[in-house]
Structure 1
Amino acid sequence: MKSPKKKLIIGEDKISRKKIKEQVKKSQADLIAKIDTLDAERTFARRVLDQSNSVISLFRPIVDQAGEITDFTIHYVNNRMNEATKEDVDAIIGKRMSEYYPDNFENGVFEELVGCHETGKPKEFQRKYTFNEIDFWFSSRAVKLDDDVLVFSKNITKEKEFEIELDVQNKLLSEAEYVANIGSYKWNLGEDEIQYSANAFRLFGYEPNEFEPTVSKFMSFVHPDDLPVLEANYEEIMKRKERTEATYRIITKDKKIKTIRSVGEFYRKEGQWNMVGVLLDVTEQVAAERHLRSRNLELKRTNEELESFNRVASHDLQEPLRKIQMFISRLSGEATQRLEKREKEYLEKVVDSADRMRELIANLLSYSRIDQVEDKPKKVDLNSVLADVKYDLSERIAEFGAEIRSDNLPKVWGIEFQLYQLFSNLIGNSLKYSGTEQPPKITLSSKVVPYKEIGEGLDLTPSRYLVLDFKDNGIGFKKEHSDKIFEIFQRLHSKNEYSGTGLGLAICQKIVRAHNGAIRATGKLGKGATFTVYLPSLN
C-alpha cells in the first residue's frame, strides 16, 4: 500500500520542478526583454539629447564625510560637446570635474552647480572656456535632477565676439567723441526723453546721466539771446522733418558759455519718428573765426594804406623828386664854373642823395608790388633769364672785369620778370661786394634734389626742388649775419662804403617765397658768399 503513494509524490515533485524551470525561463525572458527595452530607451534618450542644439551634461556630486560637495563626476555629455569644441565625449565621461577642467573651480562654475544642488533652484550663467587653445563662450542653465545636476549649455561664442567687438567699438567711439569734443544723441519724437552719449553730458558740464535728458532740460541750457530763434526753428523742423543744422550758445553747469553746432537727421522706425545727431563744441573755432575776421579787416585796411602809399610813392613823391633832380642838373650845368670847391662838394652830395632817393622809391615800389603781380605763371627758361641779366649788366660786368660762369639751367614755373629781378639782384649784389684784390668771379650751378636732402630750417612743403647756387669770391660776411642780410633796410656796411638801399636781398627773398621756394645765404668774411635758391622743380 505504501509504494504507490511514494510514486505519486515523486511524480508531483517532477511536475513542480518543471513548473519552476518554466517560470525561471519566463522570468529570464522578461528580464532580458526589460533590459532590451531599457537599452532601447537609453539609446533613444541619447539620440534625443544628441539632437538638441545645446551641450547637455549630467554632473553627479562627490561628497566628503561631512556631506559637503567637493567635486562632481561627469556622468554624461551629449555629442554636441564634440561638435562645439572637438573634445572626445567618451574621454570626458567618468572623469572628475577637477580633473577634466580645473578652471571651473576658479571661474565660479563649481559654486553655481553646488548652489543649484543645495537649493534646488535653477542657476543661469555665462562663462568663457578654453579648449585646445581656442576660446569658447557658453550660456548655461543648471537644474537639479534627482540627486544630480543637469546643465544645458548653448555655444554663444560668435554672439559674444560680436558683443565684445561692439563694446570695443563703442569705447573707441566714446573716446573719439571725447577727443573731438563731440557728443551724440538719439531721440524718439514720441517721447520726451533724449538719449545722450557720455560726452554729450560732458558738453553741458555734467557727468554722464547726472541730469534727466528731456527736451525742456535741453532748452534750459540754451543762452537766453539764442533761445527764441532756436525755438522757432525747432517748431519748423518738427513739421518738415528734414536734415537740420544749427549753431547756438549754451550755458554749462559751471556757468561757462559754449558755442554748439548741432546736426540732426530724421528717420522712421516701427511707425515712430526718430532723430539722431551730433553736438559739436565749436567755441574755439568760432572765436578763431571771429579773430580771423578781425585780422582780415586789419589786413584790408593795411592793404588799402599800402595802395595809398604806392600811389603817393609812384606819383606824389617821384614828381617833386624829378623836379629836384632837373633843377639840380641845371644848376650844376650853369653854376659849376662859379662855385667854390666846397660848394661843388655840397652840390655833388645833393645829386647823390637825390639819386639814392629815386632808387629807394623804385625799390620800395618793387618790393610792395611783388604780391600784386597780374601776370600768370608759366614755364620760364632760366638760361634766357640769365642771358637778359648779363646783357643789361654788361657795362658793370665789363667795368669790374667780372667772369660769370653757369651750368645749362632748366625751366621752372614762375613769373618771368620776377625771376629776372631775382637773378639781377643776386648777380648785382656779387658785383657790388666784390673784393679789390681780384676780379669778381660768379658761378651759377643747379641740381634737383628731393625734400629729404634739403635739411631743416626752411619752410618748404615735401616735394622735389631745383637748387640754384650763386657763388662769388667777394668780401663775404660773418656767419651770424646770414639771416640779417635778408631783412628789409638792413645793411652790413655803411652807405659810404657801398651804395644801395638795403632792399635788394629782401626783394629776392620775397620773390622766392612768392614762388613757393626759399633762399639762404652762407659765407665767410673775406672768402666770398653763396646764395642758394630753392624753387619747386618741374621734374
Structure 2
Amino acid sequence: MQKDIIDLQLFEEFYGGQPQAVIWLSPVWSAGNPPQIVDFAYSYANQQGLEYLQVTAAALNTLTVRTSRTLTDELRTSFYNEMLHVYETCIQSASTIYNPALNKYAHVLRSKLRGGILSVVQDITTEKKMIDQLQQQKRSLELNTRELDRQKTLLDNILKNSSNGISVTEAIRNEQGEVIDALTIIANDAAVKASGLPRDIYLTKRITEIEPSILSTPFYQGTLNTLKTGTPFLYQYQLEYTGNWIEVTSSRLDNDHLIHIFTDITTIKQSQLQLEEFASTLKTVFDATQTGMFIFVPEYNNNNEIIDFRFDLVNATMSSYAQQSPAALMGEPGSKWFPGYLTNGIFDMCRQAYFSNKVKRKEVYYHTDGLDNYIDIQCVKIGNRLLVSFTDHTNLRKSQLKLQQTVSELEQSNRYLEDFAYAASHDMKEPLRKIITFSNILKTNIVSGTTEEDKRILNRIEASARHLNNFVTDLLNFSYISQQRLVKDTVDLNNIVQAIVSELELVIEEKQAKITVSNLPVMQGNARQLEQLFHNLIGNALKYASEQPVITINSSLAPAELVAEKLPNHAKNRQYMLIEVMDNGIGFEQHFAEQIFDIFERLHTRSQYSGSGIGLSIARKVVQNHGGTIWAKSEPGQGAIFYIILPA
C-alpha cells in the first residue's frame, strides 16, 4: 500500500482559487491481510467544495463517503464503486449526478492523484433548472403548436368538407368610415360552388362589381345591421348573376369582417315551385278525371261513434252520380245523396279503413239510389280524413259477363269439335286400311297389261293412302291426349326410352345412329303419353339428321330460377327435373322455335321430310298435361336441343 503525503498548502495553492468545488479523498484500508479499501475519507476541499458539501474545514477531516449525511444510500454505493474503479485502474471518470440530499445537480470529474481520488465538482443546478424550464417551455410550445395544427386542420377540414358555404367578407369603408363596398377574402369550395363564379373572380372582385344592384337589397341592409350591432341575420336571397337561391346566416367577426354561412337552396326552391305547380295540376286532374274521387270526414254521434261521413272535397265525376255540382255536395253527409251506401257495405269499408289505417278496396255492385253500376272502390286514410276513389267499370263488367258466357259456349263447341275429330279420325281408319290393302292386291293381280304410268298412279294412290293413314293416326293420338283423363302411375323414364330405342332399332341401324342416355328420373305420370313424348323427339332427331345421327338425352335437377322463368305458376314446394334431348341434325332458325309446336305446322315440304306436322304438338300437350313445359333452341346446321321441365 502506497502512502502519499498530502501537502495541503500545495493543494490550496493549486485549487483554492478554482471556481469549481475541488475535493480530494484518500482511501481507508482495512486491517486484514492483505488490506482492502473499505472507504474513502474527505482529506481536502477548497472553499467551493466546503460550500458544496455544506461542511466546515474542521468537520471535513472526520467525514468519509460511508458517513456523509449529504449522500443517499444509492449515491454512497455509486460513489464508492466509482472511486474504487478509478483508484485501481487509474482511468479518469466523468458523470452527471443529482443529489437529493443537497437538491443539487453536478458534473463530477474524478482522477487518481497522490494516492487518492481528486474530484472536481461543477455545480450545474442553476443551469439544469434553466434547461428543465426551457424544455418544459419547449414541450408546452410543442403541445400548443400541435393543438394549433389540430385546430387548423379541423378548420381546414370543416371548410373543405362542409356542405354549407362558408366565407369571410371584409367591409370597405370611405374616409368617413361608412361601408361602401365589401370583398370576400376567404371562401371554401362549397361557397365558391354556390356562388356560381370562378374562385379568382369571387375572391378578387368587389361585391358591387359582381352584383351592382346589391347595395339596395334587403340582404345588404341586413348585413350592415349585423356589422353594427352584432345581431346575426338570416335571409333567403336569389343571386342576380346566376339565378341561384341561397339561404345566408351572417355573423359579425369584428368591426370590419362578417362570416357568412350559406346553403344553396336552388333545388329546394325549384321543388317548392314544382310542388305548387303540381298541386295546381293535381287539383285540375282531380276535378277533370273520369275516376270518381272525394274526401270524407267522419261524423260522430254523442257516443263518439261514426254514424256517417261528410263530403269535404268532391270532383265532378263523383257529383254527377247525384246529378249535382261538386259545390252542392260539399259539407253534406254521404247518406243525403246516397242513402244506400250505409247498407251495401261501402260505409262499413270506409269506417274500417279509417280505424285500421289500412287501404281497403273491393268491387261493389251498386244497385240502389237509382243506380245500376259496378264500381271498384278504394279507401285510404290521410290524416283525419278519408280519400275515396272509385272506377266505374259497369260496361267492362257486363262485357266480361257476356264474354264468360261466350267462352263457355266456345268451350262446349271445342269439346264437340274434339269429339267430332276423334270420331271422324277413328271412322276413317278402316276405309284407309281397305284402300291400302286393295291397292296392294290390285298391284299384285294386275301385272300384265299395265303401263308404267298405271304403276306410277297405283304407287301414288298407295303413298297418299299411307300418308293419310299416318296423319289420321297422329290426329287420333292428339285427340286422345286432349280428351283422355290423365291417369298417373310411377313411371321409370329409362324404361320408356329403352323401349322406344328397341322399337326404332331398324331405323337406328340403317342410319348408324348413336344414342346416349344418362340416368333419367322416375316420376308420377302417364306411361303411354310419356312414351309418345320421347317417341316423337327421338323420331324427329333420326328423321332430320344430315349425317350420322348423334342423340344425347340428359337429366338434372332444374334450377329454381329457370323453373320460375319458364313456369311462373309452378308449385313453390315442388322440385322439377330438367331433361335435355340433343341432336346433330339440320336444325332450324330460332324464330321458328315456337311455331314448330303448333299443330299442322311444318318447316319443310313432304317431299323433303315425311310427317304430319302433329308430332311436336303432341309432345307439348303431353308435357303440359304433366304440369311442365317444353321449348327448343337451334341454329341451321347446328342441330337442336329440346328442353323439358317436369315435376320430379
TM-score, structure 1 length as denominator?
A: 0.51
Q: What's 1:516 paired with?
A: 627
1:487 aligns with 2:487: no
Q: What's 1:138 paired with?
A: none
Mapping 1:496-515, distance limit 5 Å = 496-515=607-626
Measured in 1, the distance between the counterparts of 2:312 and 2:409 equals 42
Post-superposition CA distance 1:325-367 (Å, at most 9, x none): 3332332232244422221111111111111111111212222
Measured in 2, the distance between the counterparts of 1:192 and 1:418 equals 64
For 2:525, which of 386, 394, 414 is the aligned residue?
Answer: 414
For 1:527, which of 598, 621, 638 is the aligned residue?
Answer: 638
For 1:247, which of 328, 350, 365 is the aligned residue?
Answer: 365
Post-superposition CA distance 1:389-426 (Å, at most 9, x none): 12222232233222211111112333222111110000
1:259 aligns with 2:374: yes
CA contact (8 A) 2:422 2:476 kept: no
Post-superposition CA distance 1:54-99 (Å, at most 9, x none): xxxxxxxxxxxxxxxxxxxxxxxxxxxxxxxxxxxxxxxxxxxxxx
Mapping 1:65-144, distance limit 5 Å = none
Q: What's 1:304 paired with?
A: 415
1:296 to 1:340, Cα distance in 2 relative to 1, 3 A: same
How big is the shift at 1:312? 3.9
How big is the shift at 1:535? 1.9
1:478 aligns with 2:589: yes
For 1:447, which of 546, 550, 556 is the aligned residue?
Answer: 556
Q: What's 1:283 paired with?
A: 393
How big is the shift at 1:531? 1.5
The amino acid that maps onto 1:259 is: Y
Compare relative contact order (CA 8 Å, sep 6+) and give the higher one, 1 or 2.
1
How big is the shift at 1:431? 0.9
Post-superposition CA distance 1:139-194 (Å, at most 9, x none): xxxxxxxxxxxxxxxxxxxxxxxxxxxxxxxxxxxx9xx9x989999899999976
Measured in 2, the distance between the counterparts of 1:194 and 1:370 equals 59
Measured in 1, the distance between the counterparts of 2:293 and 2:400 equals 19
1:189 to 1:423, Cα distance in 2 relative to 1, 3 A: farther
CA contact (8 A) 1:193 1:214 kept: yes
The amino acid that maps onto 1:446 is: S
CA contact (8 A) 1:250 1:260 kept: no
Higher helix share: 1
Q: What's 1:356 paired with?
A: 467
How big is the shift at 1:246? 7.5
The amino acid that maps onto 1:247 is: Y
CA contact (8 A) 1:434 1:474 kept: yes
How big is the shift at 1:308? 4.0
1:426 aligns with 2:546: no
Post-superposition CA distance 1:427-482 (Å, at most 9, x none): 000111122x43x22111111132325696x4544655321111122222233433
Measured in 2, the distance between the counterparts of 1:366 and 1:353 equals 20
RMSD: 4.7
CA contact (8 A) 2:319 2:329 kept: no
SS of residue in 2 equivalent to 1:259: strand
1:183 to 1:379, Cα distance in 2 relative to 1, 3 A: farther
How big is the shift at 1:507? 1.7
CA contact (8 A) 1:247 1:262 kept: no
Measured in 2, the distance between the counterparts of 1:304 and 1:199 equals 52
CA contact (8 A) 1:460 1:518 kept: no
Measured in 2, the distance between the counterparts of 1:187 and 1:494 equals 78
Measured in 2, the distance between the counterparts of 1:375 and 1:351 equals 36
1:280 to 1:399, Cα distance in 2 relative to 1, 3 A: same
How big is the shift at 1:487? 2.4
Measured in 2, the distance between the counterparts of 1:192 and 1:444 equals 71
1:258 to 1:442, Cα distance in 2 relative to 1, 3 A: same
How big is the shift at 1:311? 4.3
CA contact (8 A) 1:203 1:281 kept: no
Measured in 2, the distance between the counterparts of 1:349 and 1:316 equals 23
Structure 1 or 2, whichever has the larger Rg, is 2
Q: What's 1:218 paired with?
A: 338
Measured in 2, the distance between the counterparts of 1:248 and 1:520 equals 47
1:283 to 1:346, Cα distance in 2 relative to 1, 3 A: same
Mapping 1:150-161, distance limit 5 Å = none
How big is the shift at 1:280? 7.1
Q: What's 2:236 paired with?
A: none
How big is the shift at 1:506? 2.0
The amino acid that maps onto 2:635 is: K
Q: What's 1:29 paired with?
A: none
Aligned length: 330
1:200 to 1:430, Cα distance in 2 relative to 1, 3 A: same
Measured in 1, the distance between the counterparts of 2:594 and 2:334 equals 62
SS of residue in 1 equivalent to 2:631: strand
SS of residue in 2 equivalent to 1:535: strand
1:395 aligns with 2:395: no
Measured in 2, the distance between the counterparts of 1:321 and 1:198 equals 78
Q: What's 2:496 paired with?
A: 385
1:204 to 1:386, Cα distance in 2 relative to 1, 3 A: farther
Measured in 2, the distance between the counterparts of 1:529 and 1:184 equals 62
CA contact (8 A) 1:192 1:215 kept: no
Measured in 1, the distance between the counterparts of 2:568 and 2:475 equals 26
CA contact (8 A) 1:419 1:511 kept: yes
